[in-house]
Structure 1
Amino acid sequence: MRRWISFTLWILLLLNLPVGAWAIEDAHTFMDGTAAYQKGNWPAAIDAFQRLADGGIDNGLLFYNLGNAYLKNDDVGHAILWYERALKRIPGNPDLHFNYNYALTLTRDEPGEKESPLLRILFFWKYQLSAASVRWAALLLNAALWTALAVLAVRKKRLLRPGTLLTAAAALIFTATAVFNYIEAAHMHDAIILPEEVAVRSGFTDTATQLFVLHAGTRVRVERESGDYRLICYTADKIGWVKKADAGII
């Protein structure tokens, strides 16, 4: 597997940290995690990186290295969860994709609801760019479009140039994608099964009827939550309840 520790993470973490005592403490935590990782002490590395993530540091490379540490510790469920979270932030990282695809080979269940390869081709920008990149692209394209329209208005030109039409189309596409990403993040949640094996049941108790079994690393759609349980959908005909602790939201 490739580049288990990214040294550029050190710089990126510093850029994301506030100035002051908290920054120094978090920097020491990261150094402790890195040292533990290099010594092969995976639980200590996980503990240090997890504390940074739980403390509010939202960094794709941190999530990537946390996934690496979990995978080294033979925890496929948590490894894939953190790889998935990293993919939302740094979708173009080739090493992340390599390690993520390797982790997927260690899962036991077939993929559930699959996304159409045709959709990935037709809407490639959604899958190749992070949500933040899509938002910035939408903002810049809209700014360019309205600037072009303002110039045409000042010059009293009624015909739109091909470049302006292309900008308008791109602005529309990226704006629509940004809106969809927002709705998806707010209302549509996927999760990863974390324990080695989980019984999906018809109700909220351990005595409820077992409907089927899922294993670590399987991706599911969260339909709704109730108390300490989540209603998950694996496929159209396989829906049931699991404990929240057993299905980590991506």
Structure 2
Amino acid sequence: MKQIFAILLLACIFSGVRGSGPRDWLEEANRAYTEGDYATAIEKYTQIIDSGYVAAEVYYNLGNAYFRNHRLADAILYYERAKLLSPRDQDILFNLELAESYVKDNIEELPRPFFTRWYFAVVRALPPAVWGWISLGAFILAFLFFSLYLYLHRPGIRRWSFRLAVVMLLFSVFSLVFAREHYGLIYGKQRAVIYQPSVTVKSTPDESGTDLFILHEGTRVTLEDEMGEWHEIRISDGNKGWVPGEAIRVI
């Protein structure tokens, strides 16, 4: 279904283009994938992305081709990029979880208090843009209720108008906070995928640093700092260290 949708979408965008182009590459990529020629599918999907066309469907299809071609790190990388564009897509989430089940590193996340888990569940419930529109709508309602409070003279209506204005104003503020928080979760600190079969994480940004631990292909990390060709990374259990730049691919 995703492949058909992507074909139709690209057909509309590139209907005026003659000769070989993204539309032709997508058709060739989908045909190659169906026939089990995953190397050709990877080549064509990559050509589409390199041409400047960015879509969750293309990243997702490329991730599938890499997964079928037994290239785990690349598969996770492109599933993650697809997830950035379509964070609630169930197919993307399912295939990403499936690919991660093949990663050697089983890292447990730091436990979070119940309130923190509940808070971030609410933040992730809606995209940042939707939270932003809700905030704007609540602010407009707060303004209208406050106007009623100022210009009406009946005590009962004025009292309820003032209360509703305060509630809507608070709701607007919280919605705006949720929008900023969700945006930060998506586009804040950069994340990356370990790209080599294994890499030794160092205590300092050089080969002479103390060996801290080993990470394997496909493990996701958060980028904390950069020094020359080295990157400081943090894994989900809170441990940090330095790895060379060629050992990772930024999501």
TM bracket (short chain): 0.7 to 0.9
Which deviates further from its counterpart, 100-109 or 57-66?
57-66
Please state how far the C-alpha of 1:102 moved relative to its aligned partner: 1.2
Q: Name the structure 1 match of 2:90.
A: 94
| More displaced 10-residue stretch of structure 1: 30-39 or 105-114 | 105-114
2:5 to 5, 8, 21: 8
The whole-number CA distance in structure 2 between the counterparts of 1:222 and 1:32 is 36
CA drift at 1:205: 4.7
Tell me if 1:48 matches 2:44: yes
Q: Which residue of 2 aligns with 1:201?
A: 202
Considering only CA atoms, is the larger Rg found in Structure 1 or Structure 2?
2
Aligned partner of 1:136 in structure 2 is 130
Q: CA deviation at 1:147?
A: 2.9
Structure 1, unmatched stretches of 5+, are none
Please report how far the alpha carbon of residue 116 of structure 1 lies from its aligned counterpart in structure 2 after TM superposition.
3.6
- Give the counterpart letter for 1:136 in structure 2: V
Which has the larger displacement, 29-38 or 204-213?
204-213
Provide TM-score, normalisation by structure 1.
0.79
2:139 maps to amino acid: W
| RMSD across aligned positions (CA) | 3.2
CA drift at 1:107: 0.7
Question: Does the 8 Å CA contact 1:91/1:128 hold for their aligned counterparts?
Answer: no
Distance 1:249 1:127, change over 3 A: farther
Query: Residue in 1 aligned with 2:214?
Result: 213
**Displacement of 1:161:** 7.3
Is 2:123 the partner of 1:126?
Answer: yes
Which shifted more, 28-37 or 227-236? 227-236
Aligned length: 242
Q: Which amino acid aligns with 1:145?
A: A
8 Å CA contact 1:60, 1:85 repeated in 2 = yes
Gaps of 5+ in 2: 153-157
CA contact (8 A) 1:67 1:78 kept: yes
CA contact (8 A) 1:197 1:215 kept: yes
Shift of 1:238: 3.7
2:144 aligns to what?
Answer: 151
Q: How does 1:179-190 map onto structure 2 within 5 Å?
A: 179-184=180-185, 187-190=188-191
Structure 2: distance between partners of 1:153 and 1:63? 48
Deviation at 1:185, TM superposition (A): 5.1
Q: 1:22 and 1:186 mapped to 2: Cα distance?
A: 36
Identity %: 25
- Structure 2: distance between partners of 1:49 and 1:199: 32
Q: Aligned to 2:124, what secondary structure does the other structure show?
A: helix
Letter in 2 for 1:123: F
What's the offset of the Cα at 1:106? 0.4
